[in-house]
């Protein structure tokens, strides 16, 4: 469920120290976790690098 992945990513990132957020985050995911990290990074004004497999469907 998308809300579970979003909540987990946001909660983890929200608890990082400012110095850690300033360094940015990176994740590897082919689905909802990547979307959760991207949204959390946007809301927390944090740079994020998201690595997705080339086999990931374009709709993701």
The string of pLDDT tens digits covering residues 1-49 is: 556 678 899 999 999 999 999 999 999 988 888 889 999 999 999 999 9
Domain CATH for 24: 3.40.50.1100
- Confirm whether 10 is domain-assigned: yes
How many CB atoms within 10 Å of residue 11? 11
Q: With a threshold of 0.95, does the pTM exceed it? A: no
Please give the tally of structural domains in the chain.
1
E strands, the chain, are: 25-28, 48-51
- Structure confidence at residue 48 (pLDDT): 98
Which residues span the domain enclosing 43? 2-51
Q: Does residue 18 belong to any structural domain of this protein?
A: yes
Q: What pLDDT does residue 11 have?
A: 94
Q: Tell me if 39 is assigned to some domain.
A: yes
C-alpha 30 chain-centroid distance: 11
pLDDT at residue 58 tops 80 = no
How far apart CA 7 and CA 22 sit, in angstroms, is 21
């Amino acid at each position: 469920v998308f809300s579970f992945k979003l909540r987990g990513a946001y909660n983890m990132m929200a608890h990082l120290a400012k110095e850690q957020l300033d360094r940015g985050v990176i994740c590897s995911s082919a689905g909802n976790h990547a979307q959760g990290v991207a949204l959390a990074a946007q809301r927390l004004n944090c740079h994020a690098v998201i690595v997705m497999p080339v086999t990931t469907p374009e709709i993701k």
